[in-house]
Chains A and B, each alone.
Chain A
Amino acid sequence: MAGDRLLQTMSILVLTLSLVALTALLYDIWSDGWSRLDWAFLTSMPSRRASSAGIYPAILGSLYVLLVTATFALPLGIGAAVYLEEYGGGGRIARLIEINIANLAGVPSIIYGLLGLGIFVRAFGWGPSILSGGATLGLLALPVVILSTREALRTVPMSAREGSYALGATKWQTIWHQVLPSALPGILTGLILAMSRAIGETAPLITIGALAYIDFTPSGVMSPFTVLPIQVYNWVSKPQVAFAENAAAGIIVLLVLLLSMNAVAIVLRDRFHKARV
């Protein structure tokens, strides 16, 4: 009995500690960065003077890269998931692909950066551009998109498919008109989760050669770029305190972006749930 209490107390202590760590992290960043956060910071170019430096190109860069990432990862990921869940049927090739995807999910993100550097930046000649960065993160997000989409497809009851077949629908008609619509909220939630992970990625983009100092707005997908986390990294690695404040303010922007994406995911999911019930 005493042991029970000890075990429980220790566990609660551990969980409280992780809660404290999270709170300390958020509080530390808030108190460092809050005073730097204003309209000028959001709309200015970076600068060698910490007090006039802004984060505008990094915000744009992050959004552009995310757009390219989604363009790569969504169709490929959903297509692969539909094949494995609805067509693959446990064949030998399907199993091989499944093992492969599970392995890809465990590859460190910086290795994807080396892949992007070797293939997109050099072999394809895209250079350290938004296109290269987005494609690299697209491949990185692929396993997450596939796994979450498959999970969503699995929640659709077999009877929905059988009913559709009974009415004479073909396989694809069944998938397109029955399975995908009812799995949509789950798929969307997974997608947004994958994208919110991609927006915080730093290492692969540094590896493909994204620049830390960009004082112009990106002009298109072939433009050099920076993203929020790289800008934050750049500021953190400077010794002056003023740049650390910029980094904290940049982190707040990044976290707000992340939180709003997650909020959108939750709202979407709830709306679809209501629509279906």
Chain B
Amino acid sequence: MTLGTRRKVEWLIERALFACAAGSVLVTAGIIGVLVFETYEFFREVPIRGFLFGTVWTPLFYDAQFGVLPLVSGTILVSLIAMLVAMPTGLLSAIYLSEYAPSRVRRVVKPVLEVLAGVPTVVFGYFALLFVTPLLQRVFPDLALFNALSPGLVMGIMILPLVSSLSEDALHAVPNGLREGAYALGATKMQAALRVVVPAALSGISASFILAMSRAIGETMIVAIAAGQQPRLTANPMNSVETMTAYIVQVSMGDTPAGSIAFRTIFAVGMLLFLMTFALNLVSDWLRRRFREQYS
């Protein structure tokens, strides 16, 4: 190969690789394009106010109503239960792993958490419906077969590894000088951990919480299996609820004709879901960046 062709080949390869990288931008463009297009078509037939603030969601009925609030409330209810499980346990396990655990324990615990994080969500759904719900029904006899509580708890277990590992990273990034300073002032290990290290890592820890919330809101199969398909504006976790993701699954499993208004609802709901998770991801990212700036 002459020098000239060699140079040309090098140039071509660089362009091709650039095209691969730029392709990822096309994916984002595709997501936004599809959602915006179908949502726009949807809002030509359904008023946007009625969608965002309506409290009845019956798009598949003859007398269709498109108030999305029951789906949003269902999503938030299940996610909040999950966060109530994952935040304290995740943070506690992060503090333990970062400040206390001998390396022997870490070598056992970390793989277990990784396995937990790698279990397909449909498996967690099975677990919620056929193991956790019957177990809970022994304690709460009036718990419905489909309810918000059981998938919420199981989802909490699912996102625990995420909270734990990201919070541990944040605690780990706190400079040792802060711990040593606390010890020098006579602090015990716990005082140093809880009053110095955790506050110092607070923005990093909050970032992990918010990212976990975003993950919980977008989680699909656990709620599709165990939470039910009844859009209902309620804060009672004993009841059956439907989340935004579970609704998209419900329509996709049925035979709603493409192009119909009921079909377009899944894109409108998807758009709302996308915006909610995107906003949470942005906040989480902002917090994490602020945290990194503090200690570098």
Chain A residues with Cβ below 8 Å from B278 are 103, 106-107
Q: Does A8 contact B267, Cβ atoms closer than 8 Å?
A: no
Residues of A within 8 A of B214 (CB): 106
CB of B23 within 8 A of CB of A29, answer: no
| Interface assignment of A122: CB less than 8 Å from any CB of chain B | yes
Among the 9-residue stretches A34-42, A43-51, A111-119, A269-277, the one with 4 or more Cβ atoms under 8 Å from chain B is: A111-119
CB-CB under 8 A from A17, the residues of chain B are 89
Bound form: Cα–Cα A156–B97 in Å: 29
Count how many pairs of residues, one from A and one from B, have CB atoms less than 8 Å apart in the complex: 237
Interface residues of B: mostly helix, strand, loop or mixed?
A: helix
Interface pair B249/A87, CB less than 8 Å apart: no
Of all chain A residues, the one with the shortest Cβ separation from B127 is A25
Residue pair B118, A258 in contact (C-beta under 8 Å): yes
Q: Is the CB of B221 within 8 A of A87?
A: no
The answer to the question of A109 belonging to the interface, with a C-beta cut-off of 8 Å to chain B, is: yes
Given that A15-B93, A102-B285 are known contacts, is A114 also in contact with B248, CB under 8 Å in the complex? yes
A window 1-45: CB within 8 A of B: 1, 3-4, 7-8, 10-12, 14-15, 17-19, 21-22, 24-25, 28-29, 32
Q: How far is the CA of A45 from the CA of B270 in the complex (A)?
A: 34
Q: Which residue of B lies closest to A78 (CB)?
A: B20
Verify A97–B21 contact, CB threshold 8 A.
Answer: yes
| Alpha-carbon separation in the docked complex, A75 to B13 (Å) | 13
Q: Closest B residue to A82 by CB, please name it.
A: B17
What 1/0 mask marks residues of chain A from 124 to 167 whose CB sits below 8 Å from any chain B CB?
A: 00000000000000010011001000000000000000000000
Q: Which interface class (under 10, 10 to 19, 20 to 34, 35 or more) fits A?
A: 35 or more
Q: How far is the CA of A82 from the CA of B20 in the complex (A)?
A: 9
- Asked whether A79 lies within 8 Å of B93 as measured between CB atoms, the reply is no
> What does the 1/0 interface line of A53-88 toward B look like (CB < 8 Å)?
000000000000000000000011111101110011
Interface size bracket, B side: 35 or more
Across-interface contacts of A196 in B (CB, < 8 A): 118
Task: Specify which of A12, A94, A115, A122 is in contact with B31 (CB 8 Å cutoff).
Answer: A115
B2 to chain A, nearest CB (A): 13
B residues bordering A, Cβ < 8 Å?
A: 6, 9-10, 13-14, 16-25, 27-28, 30-31, 33-35, 37-38, 89, 92-93, 95-96, 100, 109, 112-113, 115-116, 118-127, 129-131, 157, 160, 188-191, 193-194, 211, 214-215, 217-221, 224-225, 245, 248-249, 252-253, 258, 266-267, 270, 273-274, 277-278, 281, 285
Given contacts A80-B21, A111-B270, 18 further A-B contacts (CB under 8 A): A14-B89, A14-B96, A18-B93, A19-B112, A25-B131, A79-B16, A83-B17, A84-B21, A94-B21, A97-B25, A101-B24, A109-B218, A111-B31, A114-B267, A118-B33, A203-B121, A207-B266, A233-B122
Chain A residues in contact with chain B, CB under 8 A? 1, 3-4, 7-8, 10-12, 14-15, 17-19, 21-22, 24-25, 28-29, 32, 75-80, 82-84, 87-88, 94, 96-97, 100-104, 106-115, 117-119, 122, 139, 142-143, 146, 170-172, 196-197, 199-203, 206-209, 212, 229, 232-233, 236-237, 244, 247-248, 251, 254-255, 258, 262
